[in-house]
Structures are given as structure tokens and as C-alpha cells.
Structure 1
Amino acid sequence: MSTPKVESEKHGELNCWRITSDTAELLVAQQGAQVLSYQRLGEPPLLWLSEQAIFKQGKSVRAGVPVCWPWFGNLKRNPSAVQAMYGAEEAPAHGLVRGRDWQLLGIDSSGDSVRIEFTLPDTQGNLPGWPHNVELTLTIVMAEQLSITLSSYNLDNVPVTISQALHSYFAVSDVREVKVEGVDSLAYIETLADWEQRQQQGALGFAGETDRIYLQAPEQLSIVDPAWNRRVVITAQGSSTAVIWNPWTERAAELPDMADDGWQRMLCIETANVWDDVVTLAPGATHSLSLKIDSEQL
């Protein structure tokens, strides 16, 4: 077993690191502390990197695992306690941290395991319109599985309320042929039908644009992909909501950083704290949102 190799790379305007072990390869950007791609050697990728991804400062890359924080999606769709934390007029989608350079604290390897740790000092009072003091760290561990943990530690003397997500883009052979297991009988918000609450029957298949918030989600969901003969197992902690999204044809055609047929090769299952699952951090409290990605043959 050899020591994992760490190489610095530049992709467009973004500083990145490529980490290669005997069994897997990981690409991480400094901007957003964003995992861009993850693949086990000799297998199809587990995380999807758009073929038309734009590597530009200030713009989240359509790939891997963007970090949405201190709110998810449209701020106006968030609970009032999350909205009240923000004081500026313009509220970008998915929060304030995806387009900022994080500080790399270290890349450490032990055996065939690699640990990468980032922090974003801006969240301690320097985010425009968001005058709170929260220590934010992201830890990535590439071992037999890939683990990502986002930790928020409230240094303020008043409570802070956030919504957040690890917005994972999973690679699939063809989204029309895969199913998501673990959602049967769950209540979900159908955002494409006036945000109605509905109930899932059976596994989730895909035949059109999908944008749903699953409530009281279990710790484990999985993507069953027969063409690639694999099950991708997604294990969440610190979260009881999961957002499942695919733009399908019309939406994909509107996205400049996605090929017109790119929707066929990706599926977002986002480990989240949204809707009635937002997080209120008391002074001195910490919350960790974590995601583990593994796969097995069918």
C-alpha cells in the first residue's frame, strides 16, 4: 500500500488538489471547499463533474459536492428564523460560501486514508449581510469510503439559525434507468406542484424533472444503477431531510454549465437541514452535517 499522492492543479481560475490513492482519486477545489469529483480506480465515477463545468472565481462549479450555507435554495422559501439572520437586499441562491476561497488547514495521510480540512474565516463576522460569528469547518476523508462533514460552531452570545446542504451530484449511467431506495412511504414536498406535501409510494424512478424535499428521511438512501451493476449507498448524519433533484431536458438546456444531455448522467441527492429540519445553534453549540458515500455491486 503506497502513500496517497497529492498534486496541486489549476482548473480555469480555481486552485485545486488531486489526491490519488491505490484505490481512488479525488479532486477538490479551494473555492467553496468543494469536492469536484470522486472515482474508485477502474470503476465509473461516483460523483459527477459536468462536462461543461465553468471554473470561475465567485461561481460554484456544477460538480461534486457544493456546500450550501447559511441557507439552502431561495432564502425566501426558508423559515422566517433563517431569513431573519440576513440583512442585505440581494440573497444569492444556496447561501454565501460556495463562491469563496476557503482556508486549507491541512492534508494528512495515514496508510491509505487521506484527511483534508478547510475552514472559512469569513463566517466569523465577515459575510456581507450576515453579521454572525460561527466557526465553519469542512472535513473530507477519503478511505474505503468518502466522508464529508460540515461543522458549525456558534461563537456568538445569541442563537443562530441556519439551513444548509451538502449538494451532492452523483454520477449515474442513465437517470431514466436508476431508482432511489429508502424513500418508500416518506412524506415529501413537491416543489414543482406549488410545494404540496405528498407521500412517496415505493422506490423513486425518474421520467421527468424532479425537485423534491423528502421529510424525516432515514440515515441511508441508495441509488440502484443496473447498467453499472452497482448500488451507491449514501449515509447521512445530522440531517433528516433529503433533496432529490434532476433538471431533465428543458431546465438542462437553460444551464450554461451543463450539456443539453448532461441531465441523463447525474442525480442530486442532497444531505440537508431544510424545511422543518433547520438548525438553531445556541451560544457555544456545534452542529455537524455529514455524508458518507460508498458503493457495492448488485
Structure 2
Amino acid sequence: MHHIESVTLDELECWHFQHGQAQLLVAKQGAQVLSYQVGDEPPIVWLNEKAQYKKGKGIRTGMPVCWPWFGNLARNPQSVQAMRVNDEPATAHGLVRTREWEMLDIDDAGEALHIELGLPPIEGGLPGWPHDVALTLSIRLDTQLHVSLTSHNRSDKPVSISQALHSYFAVSDVRNVHVDGLDGLTYIETLDDWKHVQQNGALTFSGETDRIYLDTPQQLSIVDTDWHRSIELTSRGSRTAVIWNPWTDKTATFSDMAPDGWQRMLCIETANVMNDVITLVPGASHTLGVSIGSKQLKA
């Protein structure tokens, strides 16, 4: 059985879904998952208590959808930059996280709740991005949270995109967690002139972190011994993971995060960036997805 209610957070319409023990909060703006929690466990997807819910403004919490480019457009491959026809400065993380999406379908299959959201067609395409690509976000809620972003090129020309599900995860204290599954991988250290570096062992956190891990495995884990759990991430349609924590100085520049908010979150973003960007020929589709669950650590 499931329960759905409409809720309003400041200026934004949202849906609150309950399916079994799982609770999920999703904003209509940006089709953005805001929080995900199971029973009395600590939240899995982080709900930033200082997040601002304003029309036309990105929300710093949950799982923003970055599309049709990720991050700073000027740092993207030329194929992605060439899709844009506007000379004005490009907004970070693309064009869809501040747009209103619509509910296309909801289906309770008993074991799972399926929710499908879509970006309404826009005459002439997105501003400065005149390409006919249909975008849907599918959510399945069962014993885990499964989120899938599907791009379908309906135009008669190839379209290149970078993208990410920019997921904020709740942790007890980022200084006391580590990420498994990265040992031996190459990453781009964006805080040091975008150098390529090799990861040695598990990833721990002792300062601002902003890394792009290349050729990542499908499975990554956030091991949180204080909360006696690991958050298990399984990606689909992605070979890159962006790992980010702003730490103290950068957080101090944010009006929408508490000064110590950085301690309680860690972003692992399931992404297609750098050499992993997606080019869709006419008629082609691509799905970027992540499944999120937690398991208790053995004592």
C-alpha cells in the first residue's frame, strides 16, 4: 500500500510518497528528489534543513537533475558546448533543474511503487538549446530507491549531452566515513588544476573534495560506522562518478546551507561527463540511473 499527498514548501509544489516503510519527497520543480528515508533509520538522501524552495532557483538538497550539461559548460567537451546557441553565460548544471515537470504516471505494483515524471515539450526547445530531446525521470520505490533519467532524441540530428544525478547523501559526520569501490581508479582533481591522480585505498575526507572518478564500477559504498550502516549505490548507463563536499570555507559562501551542513552530507553524483558524454543519434535513447539502498554493518 502507498500513500501520496501534495505538499507545498515555500514557493514549490511537492509530492510526498509513502510506500511501506519508505518515505520519499519530490519537488515538481526539476523533478527533484528532496529526501528519502526508511522507517526510523537516519535519512539516506540528505534533506538540507537550510535549503531554499524558490521558483526558478536550484535547490541545494536531495538529487538535482543536471542536464543537458553538467557543471560549468566551458569545462565540457566541445561536442556538448556546441549544442548551445546562446552567447550569454551558461547556467551551471544545465537547464532543467528549475523547470516545472509533470506527473506522467503512477502505478502501485504491490511490491513496488512506480512514478514517472516528464519534462513538458517546449516550443523551439530549451532556451539557447533548440534540440528536440524528450526527457523522463522514472522512480521505483521498493526495498531501495531506483531513479532513472532517460533522454530520447526525437530530432533528425545527433545530440551530445553531459548529465548527472547530483545526489546528496546523509552521513553522521563526513570526517568519519569512507567510500569503497574507488581503489586504483584514476580521478580528475579539479581543485589542483584538473590533474589526473590515482586513488590509493578507500576515499576518506579531511578537506574540500571535488573529484571526477573515471571508469568507475557499478557499485560504490559509503561506509558510515557511527550510524552502523553503508549506503550502497548501483549505477546504470554511467562510467563516471563525481564526489563532492564543500567543507568549511566554501560552505560559508552558501546562503542555503548551515555553517556545519557540510559535516552531514556527501555527494556522489552518478554522471556522464568528460569522455563519458553521451551522443544520441536520431531516434536513440539513453538511460542514466542509480539504485540506492542501505545495509547494516556487521558488529
TM-score by length of structure 1 reads 0.98
Tell me what 1:161 maps to: 160
| Aligned residue among 14, 17, 26 for 1:16 | 14
Tell me what 1:137 maps to: 136
Tell me which amino acid in the other structure corresponds to 2:63.
Answer: V
Tell me which amino acid in the other structure corresponds to 1:64.
Answer: G
Tell me which amino acid in the other structure corresponds to 1:188.
Answer: Y
Tell me what 1:53 maps to: 51
The alpha-carbon deviation at position 228 of structure 1 amounts to 0.4
Contact kept in structure 2, 1:124 and 1:133, CA below 8 Å: no
Tell me which amino acid in the other structure corresponds to 1:29.
Answer: A
Which consecutive unaligned segments of at least 5 residues does structure 2 have? none
In the alignment, the residues of structure 2 paired with residue 53 and residue 123 of structure 1 have an alpha-carbon distance, to the nearest angstrom, of: 28
Runs of 4+ off more than 4 Å = none
In the alignment, the residues of structure 2 paired with residue 29 and residue 283 of structure 1 have an alpha-carbon distance, to the nearest angstrom, of: 31
Tell me what 2:89 maps to: 90
Contact kept in structure 2, 1:123 and 1:135, CA below 8 Å: no
SS at match of 1:46: coil
**Cα gap change, 1:124/1:235 in structure 2, threshold over 3 Å: closer, same or farther?**
farther
The alpha-carbon deviation at position 85 of structure 1 amounts to 0.1
Tell me which amino acid in the other structure corresponds to 2:161.
Answer: I
Tell me which amino acid in the other structure corresponds to 1:28.
Answer: V
Question: In the alignment, does 2:275 pair up with 1:276?
Answer: yes
Which consecutive unaligned segments of at least 5 residues does structure 1 have? none
Tell me what 1:30 maps to: 28
The alpha-carbon deviation at position 112 of structure 1 amounts to 4.2
SS at match of 2:85: coil
SS at match of 1:167: strand
**Cα gap change, 1:62/1:297 in structure 2, threshold over 3 Å: closer, same or farther?**
same
In the alignment, the residues of structure 1 paired with residue 124 and residue 35 of structure 2 have an alpha-carbon distance, to the nearest angstrom, of: 31
Question: In the alignment, does 2:95 pair up with 1:70?
Answer: no
TM-score by length of structure 2 reads 0.97
The alpha-carbon deviation at position 205 of structure 1 amounts to 0.1
In the alignment, the residues of structure 1 paired with residue 6 and residue 265 of structure 2 have an alpha-carbon distance, to the nearest angstrom, of: 27
Tell me which amino acid in the other structure corresponds to 1:224.
Answer: V
Contact kept in structure 2, 1:123 and 1:132, CA below 8 Å: no
Aligned length: 296
Tell me what 1:287 maps to: 286
Contact kept in structure 2, 1:50 and 1:262, CA below 8 Å: yes
In the alignment, the residues of structure 1 paired with residue 122 and residue 44 of structure 2 have an alpha-carbon distance, to the nearest angstrom, of: 30
CA RMSD of aligned residues (A): 0.9
The alpha-carbon deviation at position 108 of structure 1 amounts to 1.9
In the alignment, the residues of structure 2 paired with residue 271 and residue 59 of structure 1 have an alpha-carbon distance, to the nearest angstrom, of: 22
In the alignment, the residues of structure 1 paired with residue 45 and residue 256 of structure 2 have an alpha-carbon distance, to the nearest angstrom, of: 16
Tell me which amino acid in the other structure corresponds to 2:70.
Answer: F
Tell me what 2:192 maps to: 193
The alpha-carbon deviation at position 42 of structure 1 amounts to 1.1
Question: In the alignment, does 2:296 pair up with 1:297?
Answer: yes
In the alignment, the residues of structure 2 paired with residue 290 and residue 57 of structure 1 have an alpha-carbon distance, to the nearest angstrom, of: 26
SS at match of 1:183: coil
Tell me what 1:175 maps to: 174
